[in-house]
Structure 1
Amino acid sequence: MAGISAAEATARLEATPADDVDVDALCEGWYDVPDADRIVGITDVPGGCVITQPWGHAACTPGLCRRVSTDTVCYSMNSNPKGLFGHLARDGEVIAWEPVSAFMVPTDAPTEEILSAYLYRDRHPAYCCAGAGLRLTDARPITDPPGAWIRLPERDFWA
């Protein structure tokens, strides 16, 4: 998300710190950990924040995207054996549910979108960050442990 901090995103999600979570257990077998689907990582980056979830898809749900995108933009991505997909939300509304791929850009797309597709070809997380208006200086917010682990409240984030 562009323009909001991890603290602001946490507040918008009504999430709480997940300091009691055994992250190693989650990474090894998240299906054995209660509430694993509600635990996400969040990291401040220049110009906004990044939410990650290495074992699930909660960070890519439309409800999460709507909540954090008020007055800003959120581009989410989920990568699994079925492929890549994501949401693009702006000002609290999901405006696109689409495959996350530089190859899916239509030929009549705006110049900036075509350029981004070319620059970030085969670099899907970078493509999403660019779509949200973030310019990460390195991959650590996505590849390394997050700044904090938070627990999402019990609610249907797919709605």
Structure 2
Amino acid sequence: MAGVDATEAIRRLEAEPVEGSRLDALQEAVTAGYYGDEDMQIVGVTTVPGGCIVTQPWGYAPDTPGVQKRLSVGAVCYGLYANAKSGNQGSIARNGVIEDSDLHPGGGLDPEDTPTPEEVLRSYLYQHNAVAYACAWAGLRPADARAVFGPPDIWVDLPQRDYWKD
């Protein structure tokens, strides 16, 4: 997400920090490869040059419409879900509105589109690298891989909502 730090992202999401035994249990569950529905409400948030990155290594929550809409008010977001079954999926949200979805970040240009010069360059530079493509699209410049691979600046618990609708 461009132009917004982790503190502001957490405020927009109305999220609460996850600490102590709950965070320890989550880390054990993720390491073991087993996590429950309640763990889908937990995301990591990290400030990076240009904005912040919201991650969930085991799920899709950061790419849901409800999260994207809340984060993008007055800003722009590029959502990415690295789906092991169907490949990388992306979405664009700007000022609280989902502008585009079912994108394939790092997958090359769509022959039916008329790309901008910036899009041609991004597609070439970040071919087969969805994370780098999404960061470049949003204007983020992470100094290292920590924002994506962890640990994030902070783990937070999202309020209970239907993030596919909200």
CA RMSD, aligned part only? 1.6
Q: What does residue range 33-52 of structure 1 map to in structure 2 within 5 Å?
A: 33=36, 35-52=38-55
% identical equivalent positions: 42
- Equivalent-residue separation in structure 1 for 2:29 and 2:94 (angstroms): 31
Instruction: Identify if the C-alpha distance between structure 1 residues 34 and 120 changes in structure 2 by more than 3 Å, giving closer, same or farther.
Output: closer
Question: Are residues 1:72 and 2:72 paired?
Answer: no
Q: What does residue range 86-105 of structure 1 map to in structure 2 within 5 Å?
A: 86-105=90-109
Q: TM-score, with normalisation over the residues of structure 2?
A: 0.88
From 47, 60, 68, the counterpart of 2:63: 60
Residue 119 (structure 1) shift: 0.6
In the alignment, which residue of structure 2 is the partner of 1:11? 11
- Equivalent-residue separation in structure 2 for 1:31 and 1:99 (angstroms): 28
In the alignment, which residue of structure 2 is the partner of 1:21? 23
Residue 42 (structure 1) shift: 0.5
In the alignment, which residue of structure 2 is the partner of 1:154? 160
Residue 30 (structure 1) shift: 6.2
Paired positions, count:
159
From 101, 120, 138, the counterpart of 2:144: 138
Secondary structure at the aligned position of 1:149 is classed as strand
- Equivalent-residue separation in structure 2 for 1:6 and 1:12 (angstroms): 10
Q: Deviations over 1:106-158 (max 9, x none)?
A: 35210001100101111110100111111223222112211100000000111
Residue 26 (structure 1) shift: 3.2
1:27–1:55 contact (8 Å) kept in structure 2: yes
Q: Deviations over 1:2-26 (max 9, x none)?
A: 1011010000000000113223223
Residue 99 (structure 1) shift: 2.7
